[in-house]
Amino acid sequence: MSEAKVNPEVPKRNNKSAILIAFLLVIIVIQAIKIYLDAQDKVELRAENETTEQELASTMQRLTEIQKELDTKIAEIQKLGGDITELQKAKEDVEKQLRIKTKATGNLIAELRSKVEGYEELLKLKDEEIEKLKSVNKELLTENTDLKTEKNKLGDSINKLEQKASELQSKVAIASQLKAENFKIVSLSEKNRERESPFRARQIAKIKVEFTLAENNVAPIEGKKIMIRIVDQNGQVLFDVNKGSGTFIFNGKEEFYTAAQEILFDNSKQRLSFLYDKGSDYAEGSYILEVYTDDYLMGKGAFEVK
């Protein structure tokens, strides 16, 4: 029986194949690990980018809020009379930051957050300033209110004094008015015979009026124009310019007077006399005699014609 021959190259080929397969498996494993690690890096990078964008958006939102707060503080401090220069500068800087369109980065976010902190600190300081300004304005308002109250009291006192002065002046003016008293009204015939009322029309040539100026220690010594009005039963004033009649103002209205004369009032109980020639017959009826000076009535008398 013959022995079988062994081929020495077969094991060698088998060993090479095994080594090659093992090498390929190692490469595949390494590649798989690399792919896995790359995928993990991308996931982490994406998550980091998303976080960065969110942080940037949050920071920009806070800047927008700070911009509105700055507007509010500017308006309030300006109303209180404070200085708004610093706030306006901060507002301009915030608006500039809000206009910037750039990619979110850690450095940018850190810079913006630092500015946000600075703005927030500024707002806190301005809150304190606003409280101080409110306190000062409150004190000024109180002082102004007190001053206005004092001014109003002083004004009331002055008004009362003026009112009293006016009342006193009015009383003095009334007290200084002259009074006509002790009237005597007679008719004169052609022969200058006097007759007392009632008069007969055919016996009247002239009317003579006499009265006394009453004593008045308040009235000043001065010139006066004394006017008489003879008013008939129809309310008509006997009036003739050619015989000394004229007009004067009484109660804001122009009135006629029958006769007048200028005198110097000297507070001596002067007796005045008027002689009036009508120039025509008197109608029957009752007549009123009124005496005026300046713009007031001094006294009245009456007579009757039959």
pLDDT digits (tens, 9 = 90+) for 138-179: 888 888 888 888 888 877 888 887 787 777 677 777 888 999
Q: Is 302 helix (H, G, I), strand (E, B) or coil?
A: strand
Q: Is 301 helix (H, G, I), strand (E, B) or coil?
A: strand
From 2.60.40.10, 3.40.1080.10, 2.20.28.160, 3.40.50.2300, which CATH number describes the 180-305 domain? Answer: 2.60.40.10
pLDDT at residue 39 tops 70: no
- pLDDT tens-place string over residues 192-236: 999 999 999 989 999 999 999 999 999 999 999 999 999 999 999
Query: Could you tell me how far CA 32 lies from the centroid of its own chain?
Result: 86
Determine if the peptide bond prior to 220 is cis (ω within 30°).
Answer: no
**Domain layout of the chain by residue ranges:** 29-151, 180-305
Whether this model's pTM surpasses 0.85? no
Give the integer Cα–Cα distance in Å for 192 and 205: 8
